[in-house]
Amino acid sequence: MRILVTGAAGFIGFHLSKRLLERGDRVVGVDNMNAYYDVRLKEARVELLRPSPAFELVRADLADRDAMEKLFASGRFDAIVNLAAQAGVRYSVQNPYTYVESNVVGFLNVLEGARRHGTGHLVFASTSSVYGLGTDLPYKESADTDHPISLYAATKKSNEVMAHSYAHLFGIPTTGLRFFTVYGPWGRPDMALFTFTRGILEGTAIPVFNEGRMVRDFTYIDDIVEGVVRVIDRPAPYRIFNIGNHQRVELMDYIHAFEVALGKKAKLELLPMQPGDVRATEADTTALHEATGFTPATPVEEGVRRFVKWYREYYKV
């Protein structure tokens, strides 16, 4: 298939593009290569994709309407996977306009491209953050998502309802995926696992929010990619799936996994809860399994070990 992957130089976009190329698809990747974090990491990811003659990178911003129209006019896509977005809950508190431009305006341009040019299955990334302060764990896709507590979550909720309207009006087969705390090699440097690894290696205190009383459903990148690939191949009129490891992991246990992988004890800086954060997440993945036969299952200890191995090799530490 000829597949459009937006955010192809990003964490999940890179891994997905690599997997699609390996199975024989043609990938047109789009990325604006912005400086939210070190562009050299994005360039390094792209360099690993370039050797494939089936990969093409288009440097463009999803919010650039003319550039997106030109992209969609270049030829029909058999599927679209929209992963490009301004990520991060805490960053959205200080930089709201960036989120609306990237996550709302940019996604509208993707929807319009799909409508005008007759593309195939549209798969897009949402987030567990849409569940807000919900306490009925594990989260089911049918749970209330009308009360997001961060602008990031609000923009992702808007993607879900925008996609629903386009699927209904124009018959675009559409699937939204609520990712749960994705981690692994080639991740974003602003993610906690980078902070933890760097701090433990350097012997500096690592920030631990809500004094460590946090629970997350940490999902390894390979499981995310497997779920996305299986969904791409199974179009439907409109649906939403959770993709998570369906496990509650205490933050302190997650930190302990890094201590074991690094062979060194962490120094902790216990801090209060940050605005927009939630205390606990856990995915119910029953619907994903019923539709695709797949359930993420990589243990946190194994995922952290793989990340630490990559970190040491990439940063030469």
pLDDT single digits (tens) 185-240: 999 999 999 999 999 999 999 999 999 999 999 999 999 999 999 999 999 999 99
- What is the residue extent of each domain of the chain? 2-180+218-245+283-297
Query: What pLDDT, in 10s, does the model give residues 151-181?
Result: 999 999 999 999 999 999 999 999 999 999 9
Q: What percent of the chain has pLDDT over 90?
A: 90
Over 90: is that where the pLDDT of 276 sits? no
Segment 277-305 shows an average pLDDT of 96
Per-residue model confidence (pLDDT) at position 92: 76
At residue 134 the predicted structure's pLDDT band, cuts being 50, 70 and 90, is confident
Point out the residues that are catalytic.
152
Is the whole model's pTM more than 0.85, yes or no? yes
pLDDT at residue 118, as a whole number: 87
Provide CATH code, domain 2-180+218-245+283-297: 3.40.50.720
* Secondary structure (H, E, C), the chain: CEEEEECCCCHHHHHHHHHHHHCCCEEEEEECCCCCCCHHHHHHHHHHHCCCCCEEEEECCCCCHHHHHHHHCCCCCCEEEECCCCCCHHHHHHCHHHHHHHHHHHHHHHHHHHHHHCCCEEEEEEEHHHHCCCCCCCECCCCCCCCCCCHHHHHHHHHHHHHHHHHHHHCCCEEEEEECCEECCCCCCCCHHHHHHHHHHHCCEEEEHHHHCCEECCEEHHHHHHHHHHHHCCCCCEEEEEECCCCCEEHHHHHHHHHHHHCCCCEEEECCCCCCCCCECCECCHHHHHHHCCCCCCCHHHHHHHHHHHHHHHHCC
pLDDT of 88 > 80? The answer is no
In tens, the pLDDT along 76-87 reads 999 999 999 988
